[in-house]
Amino acid sequence: MTSQNPLSTFSVTRKWPAAHPERLQLYSLPTPNGVKISIALEEMQLPYEAHLVSFETNDQLTPEFVGTFPNNKIPAIIDPQGPHGKPLVLFESGAILIYLAEKCASPLLPVEPAARYETLQWLMFQMGGVGPMFGQVGFFHKYAGKSFEDKRPRDRYVNEAARLLRVLEQRMQGRTWIMGETYTIADIAIWPWVRNMVTESGYNAASLVGWSECTELQRVLAAFEQRPAVQKGLQIPPRG
């Protein structure tokens, strides 16, 4: 018998069944990459169902997850109402942010071409620079790499992270958000990573990267944390 559930062909739904298969399905964990998507979905007020992918049990490596999302990383989505009304499977948070903004015709991705490409430039700056470099600071400062005697790898990533923060600090002078007055997917991508670098529950690396001198970044991060969608998105999916 053919199933009525259009998502049942995706292996991921065997481990994480969809209670609302008509809604967008989010597979995530509240990490700096994961919360980008929950924050964006909250900002866009799109109905969605969030599933917790726990790293404690290596859920991201299970055949059910990898069978649908071969890169074994969160965040990832299935939109049952994708292009041409067909389900769309997507991983990589930058791609998901662009997809969601376009799907909803959201002002989070400006339509005017120059502003659009500039927004995408800062999104790529996060994806190619901030995310990978800050992540390495986390590894060498907070996680397994902290016990490495040779501090040169740590220092290399700390220096690059501090440089990226200085680029951002300069960008934010006289601006409310990355693109000025308009809040965009570039903000949603960047600020969770800046936050994670400096908070105690995150990498707790404020003093290493010269945070006290980043007064513009402190101002913008505080404003970001005030947004209701951010406060909500930071908790999704609940860690259980």
Ligand X SMILES: N[C@@H](CCC(=O)N[C@@H](CS)C(=O)NCC(=O)O)C(=O)O
Using alpha carbons only, what angle is made at residue 38 by residues 36 and 43, rounded to the nearest 5 degrees?
A: 95
Name the residue nearer to ligand X (CB basis): 83 or 132: 132
How do strand 48-52 and strand 76-79 relate by DSSP bridges?
unpaired
Cβ contacts of residue 121 below 8 Å, gap of 6+?
Answer: none
d(CA 40, CA 150): 39
Name the residue nearer to ligand X (CB basis): 5 or 72: 72
CB of 173 to ligand X, least distance (A): 27
Name the residue nearer to ligand X (CB basis): 14 or 91: 91
CB of 58 to ligand X, least distance (A): 7
Phi, psi of 166 (to 5 degrees): -65, -35
Per-residue tokens: 212: 């006290």
Name the residue nearer to ligand X (CB basis): 110 or 192: 192
Name the residue nearer to ligand X (CB basis): 13 or 93: 93
CB of 60 to ligand X, least distance (A): 5
**Long-range Cβ pairs for the range 198-205 (8 Å, 24+):** 202/32, 202/138, 203/134, 203/137, 203/138, 203/141, 203/142, 204/141, 204/142, 205/137, 205/138, 205/141, 205/142, 205/158, 205/161
CB of 129 to ligand X, least distance (A): 12
CB of 149 to ligand X, least distance (A): 25
d(CA 143, CA 25): 30
Name the residue nearer to ligand X (CB basis): 61 or 167: 61
Q: Say if residue 93 is exposed, middle or buried (CB neighbours under 10 Å; 0-12, 13-18, 19+).
A: buried
Residue whose C-beta lies closest to ligand X: 73
Residues that bind ligand X (CB under 6 A): 31, 33, 55, 60, 72-75, 92-94, 127, 131
CB of 72 to ligand X, least distance (A): 6
